């Protein structure tokens, strides 16, 4: 017979320990899809004061978690069911890792003994090993007393060094297992300094600044890593103190305002082709920068690269001055030595950039001033630009092919981390997840500018947006197709072409079905009125924006990446 003290012992279980461990580390929001075996975990998290945002698809939940990690520097949490749900979330987890966003995907999993013997358990899958190639780290918890340390390791892995996606596998047995509450409490871990600073070596800083001092045509390229660092004022001070022109990658727009006099964004081709010394801050020489090679680049350019990951150096082109460290520490170290006038930027270089900027800006102004009917991408984006011009606190989410390419060039950003787009992978389907994550984290309005094809990947999350009454306005650029809406079936058959979507689709009806507000617009005046009214109302809204089916180009600005049928082209 148990003693009276034993029978009165306070107990806890794995579900409670997960929630306690997250709360202990300042994590108060979970994005996910409920189901076996994590339904009670979602319920308990909400009961214990955490915010649970339930999605219609795990990929969107993962995208919301990832972008919340980017905006807050804390790992966003995505909660999924086992096997198929886990796999749905993996796309977002891999995208987070590729982009350097801190995220933890927590998935319930089946009985280990049955899975390991492949005996056919419900949703049987060796999830941890499946996740390893696509995550920065992957861990499995088999015992409730290991939940605290498992979550601690996941947090540290997600945010330290270059951030990324982490997979944490929680078996159903570990979640439901009961242990003594005091033992459980003692097993929890508060992570101290999860993302420690990495101070650059003094000789690396000196080498970089010595090289920069020799430049006649220097350029600073800012990547989204620079935006993630939240060293905004120091980065601005470095650029303004040196007088060096800067080129922001798309998610670095707003670190300095797009209309800053040193911005070379409107002279991109010129500065890439002629710069003699290029400093990369939080940017990688990947496909987005043509790998630092080819006709876009000067073959004699020398590179300074600031990155927290040593193995990033020399990944595509020799780096003359690698500086390994976290961006905030490196830029601070630069500022300690850089004095006004220390960098000799040639007057000819600045004049050439100014002239090219003026030429390209005037050329774009002509395109934006046109008023075709139906609208094209430029005329519709001009309206959005003008409406948002005096609203710098509104987040802009942007995805698509032409919608993305035109959008990044036309929509000006004045504050950092306010533009969220397809990023390093160029992946479609991030739109609704990013919009929800940004709205939840910031409590600010979000405008999601979506190609109709890209919107289709996550469009059912309109119900999520309406259910949580989020201030999200979606503008769907509806040209009835992927790239264009005028594709033709070469056989003359009744099936539409591979790139054709439904003609005359009324996307605004989707949000109306869930209680949101819908508009259908076909001219700039109607779009202006609809967008202003939507932002003023703060209600979930979708604007179906009719675009000329002939507008757009195949694959947007990256036609060269889309292989063509060689035999067909020979005919």
User: Is there a contact between 277 and 284 (Cβ–Cβ < 8 Å)?
Assistant: no
Average pLDDT, the chain: 95
**Residue located via tokens 């300074």:** 304
Band the pLDDT of 563: cuts 50, 70, 90: confident
User: Is there a contact between 411 and 398 (Cβ–Cβ < 8 Å)?
Assistant: yes
Question: Is residue 571 pLDDT above 60, yes or no?
Answer: no
Percent of the chain clearing pLDDT 70 (strictly above): 97
Question: Is residue 281 pLDDT above 60, yes or no?
Answer: yes
Who contacts 126 (Cβ-Cβ below 8 Å, separation ≥6)? 115, 116
pLDDT tens-digit readout, 250-279: 999 999 999 999 999 999 999 999 999 999
pLDDT at residue 204, as a whole number: 98
User: Is there a contact between 61 and 32 (Cβ–Cβ < 8 Å)?
Assistant: yes
Q: How far is CA 440 from the centre of its chain?
A: 15
Measured between alpha carbons, how far is 109 from 23 in angstroms, rounded to an integer? 22
Measured between alpha carbons, how far is 127 from 140 in angstroms, rounded to an integer? 9
Question: Is residue 558 pLDDT above 90, yes or no?
Answer: no
pLDDT at residue 97, as a whole number: 98
Band the pLDDT of 570: cuts 50, 70, 90: low
pLDDT tens-digit readout, 189-215: 999 999 999 999 999 999 999 999 999
Q: Spell out the domains of the chain, with CATH numbers in brackets.
A: 12-187 (3.40.50.970), 202-354 (3.40.50.1220), 370-559 (3.40.50.970)
pLDDT at residue 221, as a whole number: 98
How many CB atoms neighbour CB 409 within 10 A? 18
Band the pLDDT of 117: cuts 50, 70, 90: confident
Question: Closest Cα partner for 324 from 337, 334, 311, 335?
Answer: 311
Mean pLDDT of the 80-109 span = 97
Residues β-bridged to residue 221: 247, 280
Question: Is residue 412 pLDDT above 80, yes or no?
Answer: yes
pLDDT tens-digit readout, 444-503: 999 999 999 999 999 999 999 999 999 999 999 999 999 998 999 999 999 999 999 999
Helices (H) and strands (E) counted in the chain, each on its own, are 24, 19
Q: How far is CA 296 from the centre of its chain?
A: 26
Helix (H, G, I), strand (E, B) or coil at 545: strand
Half-sphere exposure of 185 (CA within 13 A, CB side): 5
Mean pLDDT of the 383-394 span = 97
Measured between alpha carbons, how far is 460 from 431 in angstroms, rounded to an integer? 11
Helix (H, G, I), strand (E, B) or coil at 81: coil
Comparing 95 with 568, the larger pLDDT belongs to 95
Question: Closest Cα partner for 553 from 404, 409, 441, 424?
Answer: 404
Taking CA atoms, 14 is separated from 44, 113, 146, 472, 484, in Å, by 11, 19, 9, 36, 51
Measured between alpha carbons, how far is 96 from 70 in angstroms, rounded to an integer? 9
The pTM of the full predicted model, rounded to 2 decimals, is 0.95
Measured between alpha carbons, how far is 67 from 381 in angstroms, rounded to an integer? 24
Helix (H, G, I), strand (E, B) or coil at 456: helix
How many CB atoms neighbour CB 186 within 10 A? 10
Helix (H, G, I), strand (E, B) or coil at 65: helix
Mean pLDDT of the 110-135 span = 91
User: Is there a contact between 513 and 459 (Cβ–Cβ < 8 Å)?
Assistant: no
pLDDT tens-digit readout, 163-177: 999 999 999 999 999
Who contacts 194 (Cβ-Cβ below 8 Å, separation ≥6)? 155, 156, 159, 160
pLDDT at residue 1, as a whole number: 44
Taking CA atoms, 472 is separated from 68, 204, 434, 526, in Å, by 15, 45, 11, 19
pLDDT tens-digit readout, 24-41: 999 999 999 999 999 999
pLDDT tens-digit readout, 122-133: 898 999 999 999
């Amino acid at each position: 017979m148990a003693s009276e003290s034993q029978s009165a012992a306070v107990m806890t279980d794995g579900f409670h320990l997960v929630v306690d461990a997250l709360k202990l580390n300042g994590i108060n929001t979970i994005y996910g899809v409920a189901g076996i075996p994590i339904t009670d975990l979602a319920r308990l998290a909400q009961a214990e004061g955490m915010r649970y945002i339930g999605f219609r698809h795990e990929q969107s939940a993962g995208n919301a978690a990832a972008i919340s990690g980017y905006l807050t520097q804390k790992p966003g949490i995505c909660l999924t069911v086992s096997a198929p749900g886990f796999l749905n979330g993996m796309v977002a987890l891999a995208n987070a890792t590729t982009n350097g966003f801190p995220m933890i995907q927590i998935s319930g999993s089946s009985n280990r003994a049955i899975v390991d013997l492949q005996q056919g358990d419900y949703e049987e899958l060796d999830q941890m090993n499946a996740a390893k190639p696509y995550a920065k780290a992957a861990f499995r918890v088999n015992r409730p007393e290991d939940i605290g340390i498992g979550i601690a390791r996941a947090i540290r892995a997600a945010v330290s060094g270059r951030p990324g996606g982490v997979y944490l596998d929680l078996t159903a047995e570990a979640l439901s297992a009961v242990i003594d509450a005091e033992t459980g409490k003692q097993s929890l871990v508060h992570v101290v300094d999860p993302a420690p600073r990495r101070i650059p070596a003094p000789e690396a800083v000196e080498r970089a600044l010595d090289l920069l001092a020799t430049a006649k045509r220097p350029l600073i390229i800012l990547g989204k890593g620079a935006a993630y660092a939240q060293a905004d004022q120091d980065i601005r001070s470095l650029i303004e103190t040196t007088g060096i022109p800067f080129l922001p990658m798309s998610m670095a727009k707003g670190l300095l305002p797009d209309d800053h006099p040193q911005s070379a964004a409107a002279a991109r081709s010129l500065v890439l082709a002629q710069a003699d010394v290029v400093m990369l801050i939080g940017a990688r020489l990947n496909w987005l920068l043509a790998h630092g090679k080819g006709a876009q680049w000067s073959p004699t350019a020398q590179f300074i690269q600031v990155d927290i990951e040593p193995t990033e150096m020399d990944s595509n082109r020799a780096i003359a001055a690698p500086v390994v460290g976290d961006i905030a520490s490196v830029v601070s170290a630069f500022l300690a030595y850089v004095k006004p006038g220390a960098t000799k930027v040639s007057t000819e270089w600045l004049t050439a950039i100014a002239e090219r900027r003026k030429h390209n800006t005037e050329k774009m102004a002509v395109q934006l001033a046109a008023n075709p009917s139906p609208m094209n991408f430029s005329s519709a984006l001009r309206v959005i630009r003008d409406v948002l011009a005096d609203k710098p606190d509104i987040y802009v989410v942007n995805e698509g092919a032409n919608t993305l390419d035109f959008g990044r060039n036309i929509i000006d950003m004045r504050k950092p981390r306010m533009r969220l787009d397809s990023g390093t992978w160029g992946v479609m389907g991030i739109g609704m997840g990013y919009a929800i994550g940004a709205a939840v984290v910031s409590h600010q309005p979000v405008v999601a500018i979506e190609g109709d094809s890209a919107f289709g990947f996550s469009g059912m999350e309109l119900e999520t947006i309406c259910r949580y009454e989020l201030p999200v306005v979606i503008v769907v650029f509806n040209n009835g197709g992927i790239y264009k809406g005028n594709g033709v079936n070469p056989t003359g058959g009744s099936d539409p072409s591979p790139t054709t979507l439904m003609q005359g689709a009324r996307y605004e009806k989707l949000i109306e079905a869930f209680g949101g507000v819908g508009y259908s617009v076909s001219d700039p005046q109607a779009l202006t009125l609809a967008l202003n009214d939507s932002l003023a109302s703060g209600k979930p809204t979708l604007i179906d924006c009719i675009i000329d089916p002939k507008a757009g180009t195949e694959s947007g600005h990256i036609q060269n990446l889309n292989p063509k049928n060689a035999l067909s082209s020979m005919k």
